[in-house]
Structure 1
Amino acid sequence: MQKQGIETRRAPLLTPEQFANLGEGMIAYVREMRSEDVNRLYPQAPQIEPGLTIFVLLAADGTPIVLADSEEGAIGNARENDLTMVSLH
Structure 2
Amino acid sequence: MRITTQNGRVVLQPDQAQLPGDVRHLTDTQLLSLGVSRVAYIKAVVIEGQDVFAIHAADGTPMALTDDQDTAIEAILQHEMVPALVH
> TM-score, with normalisation over the residues of structure 1?
0.58
Report what 1:13 is aligned to: 24
Identity between Structure 1 and Structure 2 (%): 23
Structure 1's unaligned 5+ residue stretches are: 1-8, 36-49
Task: Indicate whether 1:23 and 2:41 are aligned.
Answer: no
Q: Distance in 2 between matches of 1:10 and 1:65?
A: 33
Structure 2's unaligned 5+ residue stretches are: 1-19
Task: Indicate whether 1:72 and 2:70 are aligned.
Answer: yes
Query: How many residues were matched structurally?
Result: 65
Q: How far did 1:13 drift?
A: 2.3
Higher relative contact order (CA 8 A, sep 6+): 1
Residues 78/34 of structure 1: CA separation in 2 closer, same or farther (3 Å cut): same
Q: What value does the CA root-mean-square deviation take over the aligned residues?
A: 2.8
Residues 11/57 of structure 1: CA separation in 2 closer, same or farther (3 Å cut): same
- Structure with bigger strand share is 2
Report what 1:82 is aligned to: 80
Bigger radius of gyration: 1
Q: Distance in 1 between matches of 2:63 and 2:55?
A: 5
Q: What's the secondary structure of 1:53's corresponding residue?
A: strand
4+ runs deviating over 3 angstroms: none
